[in-house]
Amino acid sequence: MTDFCLVINDTDWRDKVNIHLDPSSELQLYKQLANQLIELIAKGELKNGETLPSVRSMAADLGINVSTVSKSYHELEEKGLIELKPKAKALIIGGQKKELKETEVEKVENALKPIMAEAFARGLEKDQMTNLFHRILKQWK
């Protein structure tokens, strides 16, 4: 039998608009799907005005439950990134530059704070944190 060698090189095949969910991860499937969709929107691989596959075909193609996909789509809708239209269309409305309202900026800040606080408490230097920030931001241009 073939010997396995695990090559950690996920940029190699996880390119473009691929979705890759790992059921053994501690993150729930619907959350993984939502996160990956958000990242694709941030990267501009899913553009404003495009539509996502319908909940049914997404569930069928991935081989997961319809309700799981539906949960991710609703999360994206709540975040104001997609708009669920009749005929199972999910229109992407995020992904464009616009002035955010003060309350929305506050929301982002509130979400970010505990993560940064945790990193700081665990001993990450402020410089390192800024570098990390820039590195992540670079991926989205």
The residues of the shown chain that bind other proteins, judged by CB under 8 A, are 1-2, 4-7, 13, 16-24, 29, 40, 46, 52-53, 56-66
Nearer to other proteins among residue 65 and residue 130 (C-beta): 65
Q: How far is CA 75 from CA 64, 95, 135, in A?
A: 17, 16, 26
Nearest approach, Cβ of residue 97 and other proteins (Å): 23
Nearest approach, Cβ of residue 82 and other proteins (Å): 13
Give the helix/strand (H/E) hosting 52.
strand 51-52
Longest dimension (CA), the chain: 60
Distance between CA atoms of residues 54 and 91, nearest Å: 10
Nearest approach, Cβ of residue 116 and other proteins (Å): 31
Nearer to other proteins among residue 14 and residue 126 (C-beta): 14
Nearer to other proteins among residue 59 and residue 116 (C-beta): 59
Nearest approach, Cβ of residue 30 and other proteins (Å): 12
Nearer to other proteins among residue 17 and residue 105 (C-beta): 17
Amino acid at residue number 40: L
Other C-beta atoms closer than 10 Å to the C-beta of 138 total 8
If you ran DSSP here, which 8-state letter would residue 38 be given? H
Contact by Cβ (8 Å): 64, 29: yes
